[in-house]
Each structure stands twice: as structure tokens, then as C-alpha cells.
Amino acid sequence: MAQGRSPGSFQGVGLGLRRAHLDEVAAREDHGVPFWETCPENLIGDGGRHHRLACAILDRDPVLTHGLAISLGGFDPWDGDYLRELDRFLVRTGTPWHSEHLCFTGVDGSCLHELLPLPFTRAAARHTIARAKDLQARLSVPLLLENITYYAHLGEREMDEAAFISEVLEGADVGWLLDVNNVYVNALNFGFDPKAWLARMPLDRVAQIHIAGHKKFGSITVDTHGADVIAPVIELMQWTLARLGRPVPVLLERDNHIPDFGDLLAERVRIQAAYDAALSPAEAEAAPAEAVRA
Amino acid sequence: MPESRTFRLQRAMASLILDDEPEDFGAPAERLGLPASDQQAFRDQPEAMDLYRELARLSLVEPLETTFPVLKALLEDAGAWESCVQAFLSARRVRSTHYRDLAPSFLGWLADTGWGQERWPFLLELAHAELLEVLVARFPEGDPAQDLHDEPGPEDVVWFDPGTQVVAYAHAVHRATEAAPVPEARPTHLLAFRDAEGEARVLELTAATAALLVQARTRPLAESAAALGFADPAPALALLRDLREQGAVLGFRSPH
């Protein structure tokens, strides 16, 4: 069983633990991945060979946990039994925090298994803040919320996305899992400057970063997690890290068109080099000038 | 208390994803009594609403296509797969936050509603058989069994791995394929279990052997064999030894 690890011990670029790679990860302690991210919904209550392999890896290596289907901004009551299981799982893995998406995933007890946007309204923000506080009170580790990609506004909006996210993070007093690819994709779809957007945000709350690939379908760019990370998104990650001036862990997400483990390790090394460069002293000195330009 | 606007907006989005495609994307919002400005927001973003509908339905339907390829082939041949999936989605039966529960939810919906079973009496069995190996392979481990021995004795009961299942069908659904999805109508008994590597395996059993395996979980082997009219229990004991080596049986335990 893993012991709780301090948040500061999580640095560098980690990977999501994927079923397709379990055999290789379990067999290779020298994989060089500083931490794994795993989804508790996929492990709690599961069994069999892959489950055993995943649990063995999570007991051996550092892990961060990331939920998919809690429906933070929804209205369905929590599943108390599941939350107790979740909390036991979080303690067992030793994760320093647990992240969930700032979205809804279910309605009327029906789970949609999709990250759906919340209305950018004061009422929705108040509701989500109350839910986040309640969820936080039930977990033994700090809660982080992640900004999602959204492709449509849900109803008439009263504020923009940046204001909505800031209001929820501040109101709930929770940390931020900043997905820079989601910022980039939203910027493409809704026509804003991602750095100017980030400059408005409470970056002091960022505890972790996500990075991923995306793809355009018709006139909309979609957060697919199915392609290599493009240079502008890596550059946005570097800009953010330099501005933060601290080595928050970055998670490379790859959920579709999952490459061979060796290729994914090579992609991780590429992102790690960019991460290291962004946090080098020379880059840190350049960061304020970059921030002014934004 | 009146339902909040936020809640009704979420319901409108769920309807847009799960129900029959509306001619007007603002229709669910209108039906739910949302203000005209909210209805208009749905109407003003048709490509994005289409995308949400496609993305969400893809994630809901993919596990069904992966788990039930033979059922899908059967229904596609009859032009009924899309209507089956639509009826399932409209029923709002995906209640679990565990993605792996999607396919079992579909099976439960088939069982509860009897969908398609008047035309295809084997449909539920076919779906069950397709899901069986997945369920067996991923069945949660139990606590380690105590006091088991390797060699079956006449007074022993059989201690199965928690994932092991003995099932009976009226059709040979395990023989159905995507190319020939209609199974032969004949009583079929299967033993599904995970082997030492954790991979799911299925063995066809005779009716008598299946009955023995079921009975011998709670009743001594010799008594079970006698009750079922086994003149010579030796072949059954040999099978049990073999099943223990393969992983279906964890061992044998004296009832006392």
C-alpha cells in the first residue's frame, strides 16, 4: 500500500495508466515516468488480471487520481457508497489530491459519460460551488477542478468562461487542474487569445496541468486525446509554467489511438524536455516579459 | 420547489443527446419551459449541438458494439440495430458511473423490456453469452479461501473461483458468429471461468455435469453424484481435478 506523498514530490511529465500498457508498465520499473494518473471509476469494484496489474503498479509507483463521472455541476445526489469507496481508494494510492471536471455528466440519475458544459450563469456557479464544497468535505485529500473543452454555450450566458471558472474556483476554494489543451481548443473554437485568457485566471490555484492532442471536425476543434501534442500547445504549457515559476506536475493525456508504450514514452520525453526548458533559470527570467506581452 | 433553470438546461441537453433527433434543436428547451433566449441558444449552435449528440452517443454506444458484435450483426441484418440502440438510450438505463457497466445495463434493459424477443426468442441469451466472458474475466476477487485442498474427496464441496459461472441456455448461442448470428435451438450448458492467466474461457458441459457442478457447491460430491444418478463418479472427479488445474475451481473443502 502506498504512503501519502507530499504534493511537492510530484514534478515532471506523467502519463495516464492505460489498459493497453499494463503488462509493460508492470514489468518495467525503469520506465522513467515520474507518476501515473488513473481514473478511480475504472478501478473501484473491478477485478481480474488487468485490475490486479493496475493495482500492483499503483501500489509501486506515485499516482494522481482523476475522476470522470462524478457530475460535479449536476443535480443527482452523490452515491454515498461510491464516495466512501472513492475516498478509501484515494488514501490507498497516496495521491496528494483528487481532480474532477468542472462540468455535468448525468441528469435524472442517467449517466451520459460525456463531459458536458455548465451554463455560464451566476446560479450555476453558486450551485457548483456548493457541490464542490460538499464533495470536498467528503474526501480526505484536496479537490482540484479541471476546465473542460466546450463546444456550445448551454443556454444564454451571463458571463464568459474565464469568469465562471474563476468564480467557482474562488468560491469553492479549491485547486485548479489547468488543462492547457482545453484552453487552446476553446480559444480556437470561440476566438480568443489563450494567453490573455490565462492571464485573467487565478494561476496561484494551479496544482497540476494537463496536456493533450486535438483534431478538427468540420469547423469545430475537438479535444480528442488521440494525437500528438502540437507545438503551440506545448508552448502554451511552457508559457504557463514559466509564469507559475514552480514545477507543477504535467500529465500527458492519451486516450484514443493509443500508441505503443515505447512511442508514448518517447512523446513523454519530448514534453519533459519542453517542461525542463520552461523551468530553467533563463526561461524564468524571460517569463515576466512574456506575461507583459500577453 | 420549481426546477431551476440550470437543471432544466441540463435536462434539455440530455434530451438532445439521448432522445430521437429533434427537427429543431430548441425543441427540448421549449418543452421544458426554458426562456426564449435559452431556446435560441440551442438553435443558434446547430453544429455544436450535433457534435455533442454524436460524441456522447459514440461513447455510450461503443461498448455495446464492442461487447455485442454478434447481436449487432443479427440486428443490422434486419435493419433493427439503430432502433434497438435508440430505444435503450431513450429508456435512460445507464445509471452507473462505471463505464464498464454500460454493457450490463444494456443486457438488463433487454431482460426487463423483452425488446425484440418476440421476433428473436434467443436474443437475450445471445446477448448474455456475449457479455459472459467479459463479466467472468473482470469479476472482483473474493477474500482468499481457507482450508481448501487440491484433491476432491467424496464428502467435499467444490469451491469455485468467484468469477466462475455455470449457465444454461435454450440455444447454442456460444456457437453464433457475426456471419451466422442465428443460433441452433438446443439445450446448452456452459462453464465460463478465468484461467491461470486471467483470460476468460468457456467450456461446453453435458446437462448432468452442469447439474453436478451446481449442486456440489453446497452438497457433498458423492451425495450430489448419487442424486443425479452418476453410476461412476470417476469422470466427474477427473473433470474437477482438471478444472482446479485450469483455475475454474479453487479447491475442495470438507463441509465440517
Q: What's the mean pLDDT when you consider all of chain A?
A: 92
Look at residue A137 and give its three-state secondary structure: helix
User: What is the identity of the amino acid at A144?
Assistant: L
The answer to whether the CB atoms of A49 and B45 lie below 8 A apart is no
Q: What is the pLDDT of residue B1?
A: 55
pLDDT of A194 strictly over 50: yes
Q: What's the mean pLDDT when you consider all of chain B?
A: 94
- pLDDT bucket at A292, cuts 50 / 70 / 90: very low
pLDDT of A1 strictly over 60: no
Eight-class DSSP state of B232: -
B-interface mutation test, from A49, A72, A148, A256, most B Cβ less than 10 A away:
A49
**Which of A127, A152, A217 lies at the smallest CB-CB distance from B45?**
A152
Could you tell me the domains of chain B?
A: 5-137 (no CATH), 157-253 (3.90.930.50)
- pLDDT bucket at A290, cuts 50 / 70 / 90: very low
Retrieve residue B50's grid coordinates: 450535433
Q: How far is A224 from chain B (nearest CA, A)?
A: 10
In this structure, chain B runs to a length of 256
Q: How far apart are CA A128 and CA A121, in angstroms?
A: 11
Q: Is B231 or B185 the better-scoring residue by pLDDT?
A: B185
- The closest alpha carbon to B171, from B121, B238, B110, B235, belongs to B121
pTM comes to: 0.92
Q: What is the pLDDT of residue B145?
A: 81
C-alpha radius of gyration, chain B, whole number: 24
pLDDT of B105 strictly over 80: yes
Q: How far apart are CA A160 and CA A152, in angstroms?
A: 12
- ∠ Cα A105 A110 A113 (to 5°): 40
pLDDT of A36 strictly over 60: yes
User: What is the identity of the amino acid at B78?
Assistant: A
Q: What is the pLDDT of residue A224?
A: 86
Retrieve residue B11's grid coordinates: 435536462
pLDDT of A71 strictly over 50: yes
CB count, 10 Å around CB of B76?
14
The answer to whether the CB atoms of B14 and A151 lie below 8 A apart is no
- pLDDT bucket at B2, cuts 50 / 70 / 90: low
**Which of A114, A123, A154 lies at the smallest CB-CB distance from B4?**
A123
Over residues A182-194, mean pLDDT: 97
Whether residue B229 contacts residue B171, with contact meaning beta carbons closer than 8 Å, is answered with no
Eight-class DSSP state of A96: S
Q: How far apart are CA B213 and CA B160, in angstroms?
A: 9
Q: Which of A43-52, B22-31, B40-49, B145-154 has the lowest mean pLDDT?
A: B145-154
Over residues A245-254, mean pLDDT: 95
H or E stretch covering A138: helix A122-138
User: What is the complex's ipTM, to 2 decimals?
Assistant: 0.92
pLDDT of A3 strictly over 70: no
Over residues B104-129, mean pLDDT: 98
Look at residue B233 and give its three-state secondary structure: coil
**Closest residue, chain A, to B38 (C-alpha):** A155
- The closest alpha carbon to A65, from A131, A134, A140, A12, belongs to A140
Over residues A208-235, mean pLDDT: 91
Whether residue B160 contacts residue B243, with contact meaning beta carbons closer than 8 Å, is answered with no
Span A101-119, pLDDT tens digits = 999 999 999 999 999 999 9
Whether residue A42 contacts residue A75, with contact meaning beta carbons closer than 8 Å, is answered with no
Q: How far is A229 from chain B (nearest CA, A)?
A: 21
Q: Which of A8-12, B61-65, B83-87, B135-139 has the lowest mean pLDDT?
A: A8-12
CB count, 10 Å around CB of B45?
18
Could you tell me the domains of chain A?
A: 7-293 (3.20.20.150)
Q: How far apart are CA B99 and CA B59, in angstroms?
A: 9
Look at residue B104 and give its three-state secondary structure: helix
**Closest residue, chain B, to A42 (C-alpha):** B98
Produce one character per residue of A145-164: b if its CB has 16 or more CB atoms within 10 Å, e if not.
Answer: bbbbbbbbbbbbbebebbbb
The reply to whether B217 touches chain A by the CB within 8 Å rule is no
**Which of A48, A79, A123 lies at the smallest CB-CB distance from B5?**
A123
Whether residue A200 contacts residue A167, with contact meaning beta carbons closer than 8 Å, is answered with no
Produce one character per residue of B1-25: b if its CB has 16 or more CB atoms within 10 Å, e if not.
Answer: eeeebbbbbbbbbbbbbbeeebeeb
* β-strand partners of B249: B160
Over residues B94-116, mean pLDDT: 97
Q: What percent of chain B has pLDDT over 70?
A: 98
Q: How far apart are CA B132 and CA B151, in angstroms?
A: 28
Span B56-99, pLDDT tens digits = 999 999 999 999 999 999 999 999 999 999 999 999 999 999 99
User: What is the identity of the amino acid at A154?
Assistant: L
Q: What is the pLDDT of residue A288?
A: 46
The reply to whether B168 touches chain A by the CB within 8 Å rule is no
- pLDDT bucket at A226, cuts 50 / 70 / 90: confident
Whether residue A216 contacts residue A257, with contact meaning beta carbons closer than 8 Å, is answered with no
pLDDT of B206 strictly over 80: yes
Over residues A123-134, mean pLDDT: 98
Q: How far apart are CA A43 and CA A38, in angstroms?
A: 8
